């Protein structure tokens, strides 16, 4: 079924490529790049993003098996790392030639058993180690048992060993981060000493590349940076916004003094005003906290504050001082400053603002 929602998210491919190249220039030429396209490529469209980046990066990463399947079904042939696979999905993961992150003995042993049963040969697996984030991962004390298991099978091959930095964006946590990196180096060395091949190593995320580029090992993972956000204002200014959310004016109303707008009569007109109704709401990803003039949109190059509460499918904005008509284009956001403002009002971060964009919103490349 075609998506006829007039609210559209345009993905700027020139901005996306600019951001990728910005991070590339921080790296050695031989360092591989893994593009993170989980969560619909941060609220956009993982298939569109992956197709554009396929010949520009070495790896993709998704959170779950179904996300990887969507890329394979779209014809993506680049290696895909599944960051959080579940045991019940392992056979499906193999069927689609996806590569699992094995982070505990339970899933590690389950995959080895399946690999032995189905007679896989050197199937690529990834091992994640916990160095301080305390989310997923083996401990360094697990290495001897892991190595013992690996020596008993030819059905799998360790494609990469990796970890995740907990506070790479916060220079006040530099000591903690450097300790994580040092611990990871120790872990990697144990594998290099005991395997007859050298897996890819990676620990750096976007902020890690910015602050700790010397720890790039063989590969880095770029997520939010691809979509226009660094770990501080200065870095973000070097990047370009990729997400542009637009809509149109559905209807214009003349509101008399004392009349109210929206649910719970949250806005009361102090004088005669003109309001415009726009078909985008909290079901499309706009926080309800943006209501009552805390948020705004741009219409004909002027700010139009949101009045009343944000509805599920609509917002109303004050266009009293804006020359506009029904059908005119509305910019919900088209730059990092607007996205950051939305995040600040909602007391969250740009990650959540972007990933909250509903899948009913049409996605296009520009």
Place of tokens 């770029």: 222
The total number of residues written for the chain in this structure = 366
Contacts of 84 (CB under 8 A, 6+ apart): 63, 64, 101, 103, 136
Catalytic residue among 263, 293, 321, 366: 263
**Residue 148: how many other CB atoms lie within 10 Å:** 10
Catalytic (active site) residue 197: no
Please state the separation of Cα 49 from the chain's center in Å. Answer: 11
Bridge partner residues of 138 (DSSP): 129
Nearest to 104 by CA among 63, 138, 141: 138
103 tagged catalytic: no
CA distances from 44 to 10, 120, 186, 239, 362 (A): 8, 35, 38, 17, 9
Catalytic entry in 22, 32, 38, 217: 38
Closest CA to 157 of 116, 199, 220: 199
Q: Rounded to 5 degrees, what are φ and ψ at 17?
A: -70, -40
One-character DSSP codes across 158-225: EEEEE---SSTT-GGGHHHHHHHHHHHHHHHHHHHHHSSS--EEE---HHHHHH-GGG-TTEEEESGG
Distance CA 308, CA 291 (A): 6
Positions marked catalytic: 38, 263
């Amino acid at each position: 079924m075609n998506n006829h929602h007039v609210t559209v998210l345009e993905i700027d491919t020139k901005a996306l490529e600019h951001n990728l190249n910005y991070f590339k220039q921080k790296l050695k030429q031989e360092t591989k790049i893994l593009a993170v396209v989980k969560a619909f490529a941060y609220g956009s469209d993982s298939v569109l993003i992956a197709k554009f980046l396929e010949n520009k990066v070495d790896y993709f990463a998704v959170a779950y098996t179904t996300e990887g399947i969507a890329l394979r079904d779209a014809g993506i042939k680049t290696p895909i790392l599944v960051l959080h696979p579940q045991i019940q999905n392992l056979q499906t993961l193999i069927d689609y030639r996806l590569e699992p992150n094995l982070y505990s003995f339970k899933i590690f042993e389950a995959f080895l058993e399946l690999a032995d049963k189905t007679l896989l040969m050197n199937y690529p697996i990834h091992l994640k180690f916990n160095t301080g984030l305390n989310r997923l991962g083996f401990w360094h004390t697990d290495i001897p048992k892991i190595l013992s298991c690996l020596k008993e099978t030819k059905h799998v091959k360790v494609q990469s060993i990796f970890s995740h930095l907990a506070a790479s964006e916060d220079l006040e946590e530099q000591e903690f981060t450097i300790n994580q990196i040092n611990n990871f180096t120790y872990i990697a060395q144990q594998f290099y000493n005991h395997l007859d091949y050298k897996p890819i190593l990676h620990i750096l995320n976007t902020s890690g590349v910015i602050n700790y580029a010397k720890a790039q090992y063989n590969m880095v993972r770029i997520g939010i940076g691809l979509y226009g956000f660094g770990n501080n204002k200065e870095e973000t200014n070097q990047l370009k916004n990729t997400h542009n959310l637009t809509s149109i004016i559905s209807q214009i109303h003349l509101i008399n003094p004392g009349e109210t707008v929206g649910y719970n009569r949250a806005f009361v007109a102090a004088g005669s005003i003109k309001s415009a109704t726009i078909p985008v709401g909290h079901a499309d990803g706009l926080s309800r906290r943006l209501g009552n003039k805390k948020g705004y949109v741009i219409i004909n190059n002027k700010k139009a504050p949101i009045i009343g509460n944000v509805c599920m499918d609509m917002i109303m904005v004050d266009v009293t001082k804006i020359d506009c008509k029904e059908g005119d284009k509305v910019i919900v956001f088209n730059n990092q400053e607007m996205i950051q403002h939305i995040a600040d009002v909602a007391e969250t971060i740009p990650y959540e603002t972007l990933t909250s964009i509903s899948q009913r919103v049409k996605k296009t490349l520009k």
